[in-house]
């Protein structure tokens, strides 16, 4: 082990601006000062030793003048001092003075004050010199019988560490601790003693557990946790012991401590795959989620449930618990609700779908009554999407769901209403039997729709699917009602001049008599308004949209009226009625055109909308069979085609998911029989406790890619040249939010390098956690120095610095070797993710940072270039494969990724193959990247620029 890797127990913050004191002044303070002065001097000595100073002259001074003092603060500081001070001579022999120290600590172990005894015992755990510990053994043993639990539990820890490091000093430790455990009453002492037996003598620990296995539920939670660990380890090493302890684990599921319940449930799942065990563990997890207030705990435990669901044999057991899982929706946190709904949707089956839909309907209704919270709208959106998915998978449920959801079309939250509209559109196309119900509900809520986008979609649905005479006439009535009195321009001018009062207008037109039922009207008391100058509040919804200059809805209205008129002509044989209906439709279009061309709206009508309305007028005036087919058949065919493709994609993704989860066993795979398996083979399964410990330390064993370029050597960066006096290279290990630099430093000279220090600085959102300590390098010696860097966001970071050192015996100033920069690759933080088209478009509009990268590559195939970009940037392609298949000379695709810090990255690839330059011409075009932060957009652009060209090996 190198000097830089020596175990450090105590970290002390040092202010860098303070002047280091001299050894003489410290000696004076330690000898003759008051207690306060001695305390301050001792603190300074400790800091100087930690910074690499030796100070051998002060050792005897401290033993003579400080060690005999009874002040508690000084005694605590002395424990730190003896921990860090060099205790051996250069040749490795113990210093003679340490005998005096040893005697002082023997007295402290017999001190009447329990705090001094306990803290001394804790200090002895850190000693690595057996010669110092040997004389203290009788006093340590005696502390096991002390009246105070603080002393006893630290005595157990001291005996454990001494037994682990120097077994010959106390060979009977397991027996001693076993006897102590049997008679001990304090929970913390029992826990420490039991933990020692687990690691030192597992058989004795099992013997003790066997004697009290029925009382385990009465123990304290800290002891119960250690018992769970023991049972897991024993059953992991020897599966035949499972039957002996599984009942104990079941009992611990009822523990009052959430930590014990969580660990017991996790252990139970690994020990048994019986349905009763899985159900008990899942039930325990669900109770924990509901009862724990911390959202992080809820998310962690939900992940455990999701892991259980991913196991094919456990999924059916969890399906019976769907209703219990839905109890988690009482949590106000959106992330928890999102995961819960996704889990419930994955577990839904024909057996429980009805109950699930009932609960979700109640939740949707609840969101309508609560006071507006920032997450209420998003939660409603989640519920709508979940109900949508349920109805698509189980069509029988659609009839129950649609009436409830259609109330939300009039919601002020456009996102939730848009989801409802999308669901309604799919349902009305897919389920013929529900069309009359949907149209009836749509006509009921049509007048209350408040947002133009939803209004436009509702118009399209009514125009496309109203097929009876009554429905068509009802739609026309609703349109007239939403438009107000026509012609619009004349009516608006009259209102401006005050010739027509709002009350007169309402009473004059028979279609306006229901105006008081309109949601916008009743709340604003429009009928009693006496303000003739401002009429915005009084306007019907459609007229309001048009007056605001939103004429896209007018184009949609024209298409709807054209479809309805063509269908009406086909249904009704009476020529007079036909002409009357077509004339009314044309009148509405003309009056809208007139309004668009006038100066009344806030924005004039666009040329596109004028063309669309003019086309509809032409179609109605000619009524050709070809146009009839295009308007009434081809539109629906396009929708049907789109929905079919989307359904196929969903089925394909579900199939891939199920294939991933299915455990495939090859015909020639060996069969393992538990009874015939040797003990050492049973331990091949991974130890969960060990894995979680490694994960916490950042030492997870990742499977290295088969490609040699992706191995560890690819992460090594050379920092200095081979001809430099000090050679250095760094291995950069990225572990989520931490970067560990393992720097190899080699002394290439024949001199001893003293105070060799690695000095680092960072650029970007990186922060150096601690300064690497200096070390001494012998001629041609080498050492490893580790440095930790914290990462705060996804952007390219740079670590730079130098190595400074002194040459022993040289009179010159310090020498310095400048290091090459280490560039931190953002690809370690970016992970592929998926989102819907609507979410992508919304984020694209919201994100303010854009980086446009010009394609500059030697790849000649469009698809190959796209795959190369996906591989280089860790992004996921959202554009379906069917849309990218085939060859037409150009390609457009949307890419999406998310960083581990929760930052989103969007990219749009627009590339083409310049055919006129020949078949070997490279791809050209642009990639536009959008992100919330500037660093993310620039870093991703730099990454694409660097990796655009295909490497030829």
The DSSP line for 767-833 is: EE-SPPPPEEE-TT-EEEEEEEEEE-SSS-EEEEEEEEEEETT--S--EEEEPPPEEEPGGGTEEE-
Neighbours of 133 (CB within 10 A): 21
Residue 755, helix vs strand vs coil? strand
pTM of the predicted model as reported, rounded to 2 decimal places: 0.67
- Quick one: which H or E segment has residue 244? helix 242-252
β-bridge mates for residue 932, sequence order: none
pLDDT at 503: 43
Cα(568)–Cα(578) distance, integer angstroms: 7
Cα(693)–Cα(260) distance, integer angstroms: 17
> Which is it for the CA torsion 669, 671, 672, 678, positive or negative?
negative
- Cα 768 from chain centroid (whole Å): 24
Half-sphere exposure of residue 595, counting CA atoms within 13 Å on the CB side? 31
pLDDT at 446: 80
Cα(597)–Cα(610) distance, integer angstroms: 9
Closest CA to 326 of 289, 368, 301: 289
pLDDT at 530: 36
Residue 97, helix vs strand vs coil? coil
Q: Assign a CATH topology to domain 828-949.
A: TATA-Binding Protein (3.30.310)
Q: How much is the CA Rg of the chain, to the nearest whole Å? A: 39
Are the beta carbons of 423 and 391 closer than 8 angstroms? yes
Listed in sequence order, the residues at least 6 apart from 304 whose beta carbon sits closer than 8 Å to its beta carbon are 265, 266, 285
Rounded average pLDDT per 10-residue block, the chain, 953 residues? 44 60 82 85 83 77 85 86 81 79 85 88 86 87 88 90 88 88 85 85 82 78 82 78 79 84 85 83 88 86 86 80 85 85 84 83 75 70 82 78 76 74 80 81 81 83 82 82 73 66 40 33 34 51 79 84 82 79 84 80 83 84 71 71 72 64 60 54 51 56 44 78 91 78 90 86 79 83 87 77 82 82 79 83 87 87 87 86 76 88 87 82 89 84 80 48
- Quick one: which H or E segment has residue 471? helix 469-483
pLDDT at 745: 92
pLDDT at 278: 87
Q: Which one-letter DSSP state was computed for residue 684?
A: T
pLDDT at 11: 56
Neighbours of 853 (CB within 10 A): 20
Q: Assign a CATH topology to domain 712-824.
A: Immunoglobulin-like (2.60.40)
pLDDT at 729: 92
Half-sphere exposure of residue 920, counting CA atoms within 13 Å on the CB side? 0
Phi-psi region of 275 (alpha: psi -120 to 50; beta: other; left: phi over 0): alpha
> Which is it for the CA torsion 573, 579, 580, 583, positive or negative?
positive
Cα(103)–Cα(301) distance, integer angstroms: 52
Find the helix packing angle between 35-50 and 23-32, rounded to 10°: 150
Find the helix packing angle between 221-237 and 202-211, rounded to 10°: 120
Cα(121)–Cα(555) distance, integer angstroms: 85
């Amino acid at each position: 082990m190198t000097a830089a890797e020596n175990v450090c127990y105590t970290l002390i913050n040092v202010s860098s601006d303070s002047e280091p004191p001299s050894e003489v002044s410290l000696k004076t303070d330690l000898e003759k000062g008051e207690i306060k002065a001695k305390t301050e001097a001792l603190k300074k000595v400790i800091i100087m030793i930690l910074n690499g100073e030796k100070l051998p002259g002060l050792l005897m001074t401290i033993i003579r003048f400080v060690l005999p003092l009874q002040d508690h603060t000084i005694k605590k500081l002395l424990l730190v001092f003896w921990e860090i001070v060099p205790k051996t001579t250069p040749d490795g022999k113990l210093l003679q003075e340490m005998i005096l120290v040893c005697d002082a600590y023997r007295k402290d172990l017999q001190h009447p004050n329990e705090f001094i005894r306990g803290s001394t015992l804790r200090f002895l755990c850190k000693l690595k010199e057996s010669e110092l510990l040997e004389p203290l053994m009788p006093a340590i043993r005696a502390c096991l019988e002390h009246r105070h639990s603080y002393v006893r539990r630290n005595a157990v820890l001291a005996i454990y560490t001494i037994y682990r490091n120097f077994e010959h000093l106390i060979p009977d430790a397991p027996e001693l601790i076993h006897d102590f455990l049997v008679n001990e009453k304090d929970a913390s002492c029992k826990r420490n003693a039991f933990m020692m037996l687990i690691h030192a003598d597992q058989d004795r620990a099992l013997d003790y557990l066997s004697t009290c296995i029925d009382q385990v539920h009465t123990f304290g939670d800290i002891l119960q946790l250690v018992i769970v660990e023991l049972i897991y380890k024993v059953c992991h090493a020897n599966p035949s012991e499972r039957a002996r302890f599984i009942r104990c684990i079941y009992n611990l599921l009822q523990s009052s401590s959430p930590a014990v319940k969580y660990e017991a449930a996790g252990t139970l799942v690994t020990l048994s795959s019986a349905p009763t065990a899985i159900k008990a563990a899942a039930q325990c997890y669900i109770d924990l989620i509901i009862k724990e207030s911390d959202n992080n705990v809820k998310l962690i435990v939900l992940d455990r449930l999701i892991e259980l669901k991913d196991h094919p044999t456990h999924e059916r057991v969890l399906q019976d618990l769907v209703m219990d899982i839905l109890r988690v929706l009482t949590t106000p946190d959106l992330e928890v609700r999102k995961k819960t709904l996704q889990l419930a949707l994955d577990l839904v089956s024909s057996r429980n779908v009805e109950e699930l839909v009932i609960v979700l309907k109640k939740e949707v209704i609840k969101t309508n009554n609560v006071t507006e919270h920032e997450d209420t709208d998003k939660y409603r959106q989640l519920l709508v999407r979940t109900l949508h998915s349920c109805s698509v998978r189980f069509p029988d449920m659609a009839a129950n769901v649609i009436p409830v959801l259609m109330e939300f079309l009039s919601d002020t939250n456009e996102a939730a209403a848009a989801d409802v509209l999308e669901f309604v559109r799919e349902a009305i196309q897919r389920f013929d039997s529900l069309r009359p119900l949907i149209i009836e509900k749509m006509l009921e809520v049509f007048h209350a729709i408040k947002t133009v986008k939803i209004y436009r979609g509702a118009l399209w649905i009514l125009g496309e699917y109203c097929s009876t005479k009554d429905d068509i006439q009802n739609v026309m009535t609703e349109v007239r009602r939403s438009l107000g009195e026509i012609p619009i321009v004349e009516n608006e001018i009259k209102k401006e001049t005050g010739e027509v009062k709002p009350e007169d207008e309402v009473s004059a037109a028979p279609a306006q008599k229901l105006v008081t039922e309109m949601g916008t009207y009743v709340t604003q008391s429009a009928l009693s308004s006496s303000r003739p100058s401002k009429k915005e509040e009084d306007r019907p919804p459609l007229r309001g949209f048009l007056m605001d200059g939103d004429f896209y809805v007018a184009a949609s209205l024209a298409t709807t009226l054209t479809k309805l008129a063509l269908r009406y002509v086909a249904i009704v044989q009476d020529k007079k009625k036909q002409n009357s209906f077509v004339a009314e439709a044309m009148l509405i279009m003309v009056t809208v055109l007139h309004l668009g061309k006038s100066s009344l709206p806030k924005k004039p009508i666009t040329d596109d909308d004028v063309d669309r309305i003019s086309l509809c007028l032409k179609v109605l005036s000619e009524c050709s069979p070809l146009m009839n087919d295009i308007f009434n058949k081809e539109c629906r065919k396009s929708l049907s085609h789109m929905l079919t493709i989307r359904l196929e994609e969903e089925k394909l993704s579900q199939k891939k998911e199920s294939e991933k989860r299915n455990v495939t066993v090859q015909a020639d795979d060996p069969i393992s029989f538990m009874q015939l398996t040797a003990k050492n083979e049973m331990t091949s399964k991974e130890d969960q406790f060990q894995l979680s410990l490694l994960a916490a330390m950042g030492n997870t064993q990742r499977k290295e890619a088969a490609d040699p370029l992706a191995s560890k050597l690819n992460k090594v960066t050379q920092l200095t040249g081979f001809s430099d006096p000090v050679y250095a290279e760094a291995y950069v290990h990225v572990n989520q939010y931490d970067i560990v630099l393992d720097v190899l430093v080699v002394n290439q000279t024949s001199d001893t390098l003293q105070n060799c220090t690695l000095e680092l600085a960072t650029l970007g959102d990186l922060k150096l956690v601690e300064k690497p300590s200096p070390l001494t390098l012998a001629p041609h010696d080498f050492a490893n120095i580790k440095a930790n860097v914290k990462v705060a966001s996804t952007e390219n970071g740079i670590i730079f610095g130098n190595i400074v050192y002194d040459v022993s015996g040289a009179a010159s100033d310090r020498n310095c070797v400048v290091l090459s920069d280490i560039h931190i690759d953002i690809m370690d933080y970016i992970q592929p993710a998926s989102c819907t088209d609507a979410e992508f478009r919304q984020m694209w509009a919201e994100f303010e940072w854009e980086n446009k990268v010009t394609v500059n590559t030697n790849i000649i195939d469009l698809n190959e270039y796209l795959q190369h970009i996906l591989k280089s940037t860790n992004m996921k392609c959202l554009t379906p494969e069917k849309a990218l298949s085939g060859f037409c000379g150009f390609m457009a695709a949307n890419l999406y990724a998310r960083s581990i810090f929760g930052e989103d990255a969007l990219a749009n690839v627009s590339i083409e193959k310049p055919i006129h330059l020949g078949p070997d011409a490279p791809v050209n075009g642009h990639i536009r990247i959008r992100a919330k932060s500037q660093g993310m957009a620039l870093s991703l652009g730099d990454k694409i620029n660097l990796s655009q060209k295909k490497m030829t090996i």
